[in-house]
Amino acid sequence: MLRWALIQAADNTTLRDLTRNSRIARQVVDRYIAGESTADGLAAARSLADAGIDLTLDHVGEFIAHLDQAQAAADVYRELLDRIGDDGLPAGVSVKPTQLGLLLDREVCTNLLADLAKRAHAADVHVTLDMEDHTVTESTVELVEEAHAAGFTNVGCAVQSALHRTAEDVRRLTRAGASLRLCKGAYAEPSHLAYQRKPDVDRSYLEAARYLVAEGVEPRFATHDHRIVAAIKREAALLGRDRSTYEFQMLYGIRTDMQEALVADGYRLRVYLPFGEEWFAYFMRRLAERPANMIFFARALTGALTSP
């Protein structure tokens, strides 16, 4: 129940303002967010790249209200793609379709994505469409299919094992030739569309992972669960899948010990690195996944509420 409450609190503007204004709360935020500017994000990316870690850069923001916000987000990604190419960063980019105006004007979103995909292809950069809540799942899958049909084979997307439909989406997108990021999901979805119990979400994840190890196009396994990581390693070894053909993905600031161990053992690792001013919704979903930080964060907010 607490996890769902935190996820739903991602839209709470009062809590957002309290977090922004609390020095102690921002210490927690800074663990998960690599700063608010593009320069901050690129600086963090370079530091991780020097440690042998690949990256996917995410300019946070979603469910925009005006199309000029979509153009502004696209401009940030254009700058990122230029810098990735110029600096030789081992990085891709992750984009939320609603940040490009999916719910405001589908044609604008499609055109912006096509432009970014073209620029990314020229720089040999992979583009991942983040999977948002269930209201845009089908549209996101369609955007990937359309991109591949147009020749942009460097476009893939995330899929969430929490959703009932994901097993079919994994097969559908694999048939299209898309590289997929398999994650568990971080949205409060209704029970008729998504599994509500962690064991069911984990079971769904492992089933999809087994399929992707066997059939996937450069699958990307996003998890911090050491048991799931071990299961994927075993499955890949049994099938003789080379380590260079798949990767693990983890979030910036989470399980850095495990990240270092994977790199040391010769596995591909990619860190999902978020930055930008609209970080609050992303931060709340990360907090919901890390119960150990909830008490510290609550104390920080209590201090903000009681301070003169």
Catalytic residue ranges? 130, 181
HSE, CB side, 13 Å, CA atoms: give it for residue 35. 10
Task: Report how far residue 204's alpha carbon sits from residue 207's, in angstroms, rounded to the nearest whole number.
Answer: 5
Element (H, E) at 8: helix 2-8
The pair of structure tokens assigned to 213 is 């190890």
Task: Report how far residue 45's alpha carbon sits from residue 227's, in angstroms, rounded to the nearest whole number.
Answer: 28
Do 284 and 265 meet the contact criterion of CB atoms below 8 Å apart? no
Task: Report how far residue 146's alpha carbon sits from residue 110's, in angstroms, rounded to the nearest whole number.
Answer: 9
For the packed helices 166-175 and 198-215, what is the interaxial angle rounded to 10 degrees?
20
Angle at 123 between CA 119 and CA 124, to 5 degrees: 115
List Cβ neighbours of 274 (8 Å cut-off, separation of 6 or more). 32, 33, 34, 41, 58, 59, 60, 252, 282
The pair of structure tokens assigned to 106 is 């589908």
304 C-beta neighbours (distance < 10 Å), count: 17
Task: Report how far residue 15's alpha carbon sits from residue 33's, in angstroms, rounded to the nearest whole number.
Answer: 17
Task: Report how far residue 276's alpha carbon sits from residue 59's, in angstroms, rounded to the nearest whole number.
Answer: 5
The pair of structure tokens assigned to 258 is 């495990």
